[in-house]
Amino acid sequence: MTRNMAVSVIEHERIITTLPKAKAVKPFIEKLITLAKDPSQHNRRRAFSKLRDKEATQKLFDVLGPRFLERPGGYCRILKLAKRRLGDGGERAILEFVVRTPSEASAPVE
């Protein structure tokens, strides 16, 4: 679950999920972005071994790593949504990057 959600966040730069899942995935993604800030072959292989997705690894090192180069940490944020999930009433949250591309930032959430 963690791997699939991390790939989705890297691919879309914003996902809506439950609050406990967002809290579980956030440290995983932040460690990957810290790896991506140094684009060595060793770090690429380490990130690929965690993600198992070539496109996500490529975007991680080509787009996200350089974007957060000057930032010392705190690459993701969790925004709680007021409306609960319909089936079980679970708390929903948005997991997104702090700095997003202009095309992704103007897109609607749902």
Nearest to 31 by CA among 73, 59, 70: 73
Domains and CATH numbers, the chain: 2-105 (3.90.1030.10)
| 59-65 average pLDDT score | 96
For position 100, what pLDDT does the model report?
Answer: 81
* DSSP code at position 77: E
Measure Cα distances from 104 to 14, 82, 89, 93 in Å: 8, 22, 29, 18
pLDDT digits (tens, 9 = 90+) for 8-34: 999 999 999 999 999 999 999 999 999
